[in-house]
Amino acid sequence: MNATFVLAIDVYYHEDHAKVAGVLFDWADTVPHSTLTTIVSEVAPYEPGQFYKREMPCILALLKQIDLKTLAAILVDSHVFVSNEKDYGLGGHLWVAIDKAIPVIGVAKRSFRDTEKVTIPIRRGQSANPLYVSAVGMDAQEAARLVKEMDGAYRIPNLLKTLDQLSRS
């Protein structure tokens, strides 16, 4: 099978567990090709500056449900880099965890200090607030273009809104 799908992943933390959700799509899709969810009962506590340590086991649990060879990219609700020196954020750590086999795109709602050289702000719809796109394993400008062109008239692409709702339900 050709690697044609993108998997967007989000984790929502409840009091005693985390729900991990994924939407599988092609860039031009208006609805997900399919969705995936899993529950992770043992979640690490949040450590300031070490967000990936809490999030990574949850994401890897969801990835067990899919053949990674079917993926053209993985999209995470976070940053790939947390510094202009390309220190890894969640997206970068994920890329290493999957043996750099699939590009990882970070789409963050807030900028991260000292990342203006490694993130691309994009504006969608009428929003004055940009999304911050970063990528590893593929050209960041191309990743930003793809995210900007995703379906939806507002700041957050429709498929990412669907993902957020799925993770919270």
Could you read off the pLDDT of 95-126 as tens digits, one per residue?
999 999 999 999 999 998 899 999 999 999 99
Overall average pLDDT of the 4-33 stretch: 95
The Cβ-side half-sphere exposure at 27, using a 13 Å CA radius, reads: 14
Q: Are 163 and 22 in contact (CB under 8 A)?
A: yes
Quickly state the pLDDT bin for 90 (edges 50, 70, 90). very high
| Residue 18 pLDDT greater than 60, yes or no | yes
Alpha-carbon span 144 to 141, nearest angstrom = 5
Strand pairing partners for 34? 24
Q: How confident is the model over 53-67, as pLDDT tens digits?
A: 889 999 999 999 999
Quickly state the pLDDT bin for 1 (edges 50, 70, 90). very low
The fold of 5-168 is archaeoglobus fulgidus dsm 4304 fold (3.30.2170)
Is the C-alpha dihedral spanning 133, 24, 35, 45 positive or negative?
negative
Strand pairing partners for 75? 8, 105
Between 45 and 162, whose confidence is greater? 162
Quickly state the pLDDT bin for 147 (edges 50, 70, 90). very high
| Residue 11 pLDDT greater than 50, yes or no | yes
Domain-wise residue ranges, the chain: 5-168
pTM for this predicted structure: 0.94
Show the CA angle centred on residue 38, arms to residues 37 and 41, nearest 5°.
150
pLDDT computed for residue 2 by the predictor: 58
Alpha-carbon span 20 to 78, nearest angstrom = 14
